[in-house]
Amino acid sequence: MKLKSFLHVAALLCGLALGSNAQSPNLSAYKPDQKEILASYAKTAALDTVLRNVVSNNEISPVWHTDGNSFWYRKNMPARTWQFVYVDAKTGTFKTAFDHRLLAKSLTKATGEMQNEGKMNLIEMFFNDNGNAVTLKAEGKWYKVNLADYQYLKATDTAYLRYNIRRPLQNKRSRWAGFRTPRKSPDGKQEITVKDGNLVLKNLADQTETALTSDGTSARPYGEATWSPDGKTIVAYLIDPKKTKQVHYILSSVTGSTRGELKSQDYAQPGDEFTSYQPYVFDVAAKKQTKVATDVIDFFGAPVLNWRDKDNRYYTFEKVDRGHQRFRVIEVDAATGKTRNIIDEQTKTFIYENRIYTRYLPKTNEFIWTSEQNGWQHLYLVNSLTAKQQQITKGNWVVRDIDSVDVVKRQIWFRASGVNPGEDPYFVHYYRIGFDGKGMIDLTPGKGNHSVTFSPDRRFYIDTYSQVNVPPVIELRKTADGKKIKELERVDPERYLDKGIKLPEVFVAKARDGVTDIWGVICFPSNMDKNKTYPIIENIYAGPQDSFVPKNFMPNSEMQNIAELGFIVVQIDGMGTANRSKAFHDVCWKNLADAGFPDRILWMKAMAKKYQNADIGRVG
């Protein structure tokens, strides 16, 4: 929302009172005159410029070399200049990559263009000979520079590692995403086609065709056919397509016309019919069709199939029921069509499907699965033959995401929050744990919200962590044991405070149950008069799909910009939002209108008791 729009809405809402005002009678309401208002707007507009003058390295982008033993990055310096830093990851040696004055002089001579030693635009660059030479691209041409004497030659070997540090360690697939399967059989001798809604098997040698079904039509066709890995079985679906219904709206302000314009768009609503899929299995040799004994799939599309290793008589698929109250992993016997549930999770509220993670391990007939079945999101190892579950992670904390699974070492790399007592329970840390639930290592022990990037071979990683009012610390660590090799960057918060920048404050109060902690942040005006009271504006988005209070360092924000105009601005994660316990999240079940209001109101009342300048009689 734009600042002016936000303030307009805030002005309309500031009459909302949360109860009697407990401020000291000696405090009066802040009522700025025109001069003060203009000065506040000017100060807000200047915040970005002030921030640019704070020398900081709140994040770095390491460029790793091919051997994975070293990297370089660009480091911000005073007067909006920068230097390049070379790091030996094995030893932790940290040094200026080269003499910037001498290199600028050499590149000026080589390119014919003046190079500023503090602002050299070097993006494509790698070091040779243990850091004693550098190959780089300047003004569109490649050069190799000897760092002993800064003599240069035109470079011919310009191949270097192009590695995206932000790339996920594993690819993840949404259950909403479609997928393609080959029409040809694994041995390449046959092909599946669909004619007049029916499944046809074509022999590619003599082009003969054999119909596998006869009850398909153009209105209800067979499709989404896939082969078993051994080519003995085909799985396909009798599909009942449903067109998504439309919603309609009117554009009331059409340029050049006084008439409204009717618009329509596809928009599925609760209760609408979805396209459904009835699964069948086909014995290719016998040309036999068998209906799979399971419910019709009418939520998401045809599922991904996971075949049992070395025994393609069996496969599994995942099924999410409409209403999100049941999640199953179903095994099918392709010879008989019979099924059994390996996982059958049910709840009276809802299962947060977007957070369900599964990773199938066919070689060992196992899979990794996440579930909130014990009240917290945790990891489980499931035996797909016996359906036995073994809980891997345990405790009153939340597994937030899975980065990768090491099948050989039987380890899981994951993120979690709430593990460390005394910390904000939303702070994300990175961990590694064995399939057996043993040997859990916190790869990111520092207090704060963490983000990690790995070296190409994952022997090293760079951990960046911060809090809303604590600038980032950036560390190089060893993956094997998580030990710190070198602190690369740290910024003293005084650098910001000395520039007059007001950092947010964290505040915690009890929820409606009197037990659960509710976390939020407060942005105060930097020039707040201790003898005045200020109206409160809540920055709110209370959707159940996530939590929203910022956790990373926040030296400037829209919230602070508004606070500078004479408000106390807050943001709160009340009950019904995600990333806490299932009970915390379940408050939103059939209760979206709640939006955590009871908790947010209590939080603001508690905040006003501590901060006498907060006028709880004016909240918007």
What are the tens digits of pLDDT across the range 355-391? 999 999 999 999 999 999 999 999 999 999 999 999 9
Tell me the Ramachandran region of residue 365: left when phi exceeds 0, alpha when psi lies from -120 to 50, beta otherwise: left
* Amino acid letter, residue 441: I
Looking at the domain assignment, is residue 453 inside a domain?
Answer: no
Same domain for 38 and 67, yes or no, is: no
How is residue 43 written in tokens? 């100060």
Q: Is the pLDDT of residue 283 over 60?
A: yes
Percent share of the chain, pLDDT over 90: 87
The pLDDT score that the predictor gives to residue 168 is 84
- Give the DSSP letter of residue 401: E
Q: Please, which pLDDT band fits residue 21 given cuts at 50, 70 and 90?
A: low
pLDDT in tens, 193-216: 999 999 999 999 999 999 999 999
d(CA 413, CA 399) in angstroms, rounded, equals 11
Same domain for 205 and 332, yes or no, is: yes
Q: What is the DSSP string of 28-77?
A: EE----HHHHHHHHHHHHHHHHHHHTS---S----EE-TTSSEEEEEEEE
d(CA 431, CA 437) in angstroms, rounded, equals 12
* Amino acid letter, residue 388: K
Residue 486: which H helix or E strand, with range? strand 484-490
Global pTM reads 0.92
Looking at the domain assignment, is residue 551 inside a domain?
Answer: yes
Q: Is the pLDDT of residue 9 over 50?
A: no
Q: Please, which pLDDT band fits residue 22 given cuts at 50, 70 and 90?
A: low
* Amino acid letter, residue 420: N
Same domain for 49 and 68, yes or no, is: no
Same domain for 340 and 194, yes or no, is: yes
**How many CB atoms lie under 10 A from the CB of residue 488?**
21
Average pLDDT, integer, range 600-609: 97
The pLDDT score that the predictor gives to residue 11 is 46
Closest-CA residue to 330 (of 297, 352, 355, 362):
297
- Give the DSSP letter of residue 447: S
pLDDT in tens, 71-119: 999 999 999 999 999 999 999 999 999 999 999 999 999 999 999 999 9
Domain at 286, CATH number: 2.140.10.30
Tell me the Ramachandran region of residue 287: left when phi exceeds 0, alpha when psi lies from -120 to 50, beta otherwise: left
Domain boundary among 108, 131, 154: 154
pLDDT in tens, 255-278: 999 999 999 999 999 999 999 999
Same domain for 511 and 551, yes or no, is: yes
Average pLDDT, integer, range 479-494: 95
The pLDDT score that the predictor gives to residue 13 is 45
Same domain for 344 and 198, yes or no, is: yes
Domain boundary among 348, 374, 409: 348
Q: For the chain, what is the domain count? A: 3
The residue with greater pLDDT, 5 or 616, is 616
- On the CB side of 584, how many CA atoms lie within 13 Å of its CA? 26
Same domain for 199 and 335, yes or no, is: yes
How is residue 195 written in tokens? 């004619």
**How many CB atoms lie under 10 A from the CB of residue 531?**
12
Domain limits at 102? 63-154
Looking at the domain assignment, is residue 369 inside a domain?
Answer: no
Closest-CA residue to 19 (of 607, 614, 620, 601):
601
Looking at the domain assignment, is residue 30 inside a domain?
Answer: yes
Average pLDDT, integer, range 392-415: 97
Sort 324 into a burial class: Cβ within 10 Å, 0-12 / 13-18 / 19+.
middle
Average pLDDT, integer, range 26-34: 92
Looking at the domain assignment, is residue 461 inside a domain?
Answer: no
The pLDDT score that the predictor gives to residue 400 is 98
Looking at the domain assignment, is residue 344 inside a domain?
Answer: yes
Average pLDDT, integer, range 425-452: 98
pLDDT in tens, 502-548: 999 999 999 999 999 999 999 999 999 999 999 999 999 888 999 99
Same domain for 131 and 274, yes or no, is: no
Same domain for 43 and 102, yes or no, is: no
CB 506 within 8 A of CB 517: no
pLDDT in tens, 298-333: 998 999 999 999 999 999 999 999 999 999 999 999
CB 430 within 8 A of CB 415: yes
Same domain for 231 and 111, yes or no, is: no
Q: Please, which pLDDT band fits residue 25 given cuts at 50, 70 and 90?
A: low
Same domain for 344 and 195, yes or no, is: yes
Q: Is the pLDDT of residue 420 over 50?
A: yes
Average pLDDT, integer, range 392-402: 97
Residue tagged 């639930």 (tokens): 437
**How many CB atoms lie under 10 A from the CB of residue 424?**
19
Same domain for 288 and 221, yes or no, is: yes
Q: Which residues contact 450 (CB under 8 A, 6 or more apart)?
A: 427, 428, 429, 430, 444, 463, 464, 465
CB 247 within 8 A of CB 267: yes
- On the CB side of 462, how many CA atoms lie within 13 Å of its CA? 27
**How many CB atoms lie under 10 A from the CB of residue 148?**
9
Domain boundary among 137, 154, 171: 154
Q: Is the pLDDT of residue 6 over 50?
A: no
Residue tagged 């979805």 (tokens): 274
Looking at the domain assignment, is residue 548 inside a domain?
Answer: yes
The pLDDT score that the predictor gives to residue 49 is 86
Residue tagged 């044991």 (tokens): 481
Residue tagged 């916190």 (tokens): 442
Looking at the domain assignment, is residue 460 inside a domain?
Answer: no
How is residue 604 written in tokens? 């603001």
CB 88 within 8 A of CB 69: yes
Mean pLDDT of the chain: 93
Q: Which residues contact 4 (CB under 8 A, 6 or more apart)?
A: none
Q: Is the pLDDT of residue 1 over 50?
A: no
Q: Which contacts (CB < 8 Å, 24+ apart) does range 456-462 have?
A: 456/64, 456/68, 456/161, 456/163, 457/68, 458/169, 459/68, 459/89, 460/68, 460/89, 460/485, 462/60, 462/62, 462/488
